């Protein structure tokens, strides 16, 4: 199953791959070179399919838990000053996605979307300390009665050139539901209340919609 954001790119890539096969077969006479080029082109197509895959995830809805919004590796767990929306101290948990990770963004909690904003910006590498404030990004805040407000931020990286955000103000978010997509590698920052109990560790691999990032008493 592939994400709808990839349908057009997958089709275009397939056309290019088929065309390349015909050209390689017609103009490359050396057998080992012809086969090598075909395998290279086929490998590129497999990478595109890998990137846009959208596997089903089993989210167990729980208003006292926040799940990971994306697949990847936890690279930041720290108390920070969040200046865009809260303007106070929060616990930041950041998940870095490599190009081979699933890049679907999912709602970390169920609730009402109270804020959603797009920011144009730079394309620093996703793990850069200033990427959260200077890169192209979207900021979304979801609120429920247990967690209060949780903010998550999709951040473009050096390769990511398009962020897709489906969250709209006043829509009802469903925990683990599809909330967007980031094309070609990036990260997502999650800003949680200070009294949230963090359930992950640095360098831990997480799965979007399934891995529990934090819980509230």
pLDDT of residue 102: 83
Q: Does 3.30.310 match the CATH number of domain 65-215?
A: no
Task: Tell me the pTM.
Answer: 0.84
165-213 residue pLDDT tens = 999 999 999 999 999 988 766 889 999 999 999 999 999 999 999 999 9
pLDDT tens digit sequence for 54-103: 788 889 889 899 999 999 999 999 999 999 999 999 999 999 988 788 88
Residues 6+ apart with CB under 8 A from 72: 95, 96, 97, 98, 101, 187, 188, 205, 206
Contacts of residue 43, Cβ cutoff 8 Å, sequence gap at least 6 = none
Q: One of 94, 132, 179, 186 is an active-site residue; which one?
A: 186
Task: Kindly report, residue by residue over 136-149, the tens digit of the pLDDT.
Answer: 889 999 999 998 99
Domain chopping of the chain, boundaries: 4-51, 65-215
> Does the active-site annotation cover 186?
yes
């Amino acid at each position: 199953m592939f994400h709808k954001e990839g349908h057009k790119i997958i089709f275009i890539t397939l056309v290019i791959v088929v065309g390349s096969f015909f050209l390689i077969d017609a103009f490359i006479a050396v057998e080992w070179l012809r086969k090598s080029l075909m395998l290279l082109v086929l490998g590129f197509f497999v990478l595109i399919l890998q990137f846009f895959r959208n596997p089903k995830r089993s989210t167990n809805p729980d208003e006292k838990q926040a799940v990971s919004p994306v697949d990847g590796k936890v690279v930041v767990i720290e108390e920070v000053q969040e200046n865009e929306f809260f303007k106070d101290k929060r616990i930041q948990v950041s998940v870095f996605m490599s190009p081979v990770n699933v890049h679907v963004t999912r709602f970390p909690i169920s609730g009402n979307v109270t804020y959603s904003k797009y920011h144009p910006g730079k394309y620093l590498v996703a793990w850069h300390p200033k990427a959260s404030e200077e890169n192209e990004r979207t900021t979304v805040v979801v609120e429920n009665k247990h967690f209060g407000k949780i903010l998550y931020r999709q951040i473009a990286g050096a390769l990511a050139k398009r962020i897709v955000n489906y969250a709209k103000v006043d829509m009802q978010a469903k925990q683990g539901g599809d909330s967007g997509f980031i094309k070609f590698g990036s990260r997502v920052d999650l800003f949680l209340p200070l009294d949230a109990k963090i359930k992950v560790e640095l360098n831990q691999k997480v799965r979007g919609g399934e891995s529990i990032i934090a819980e509230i008493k």
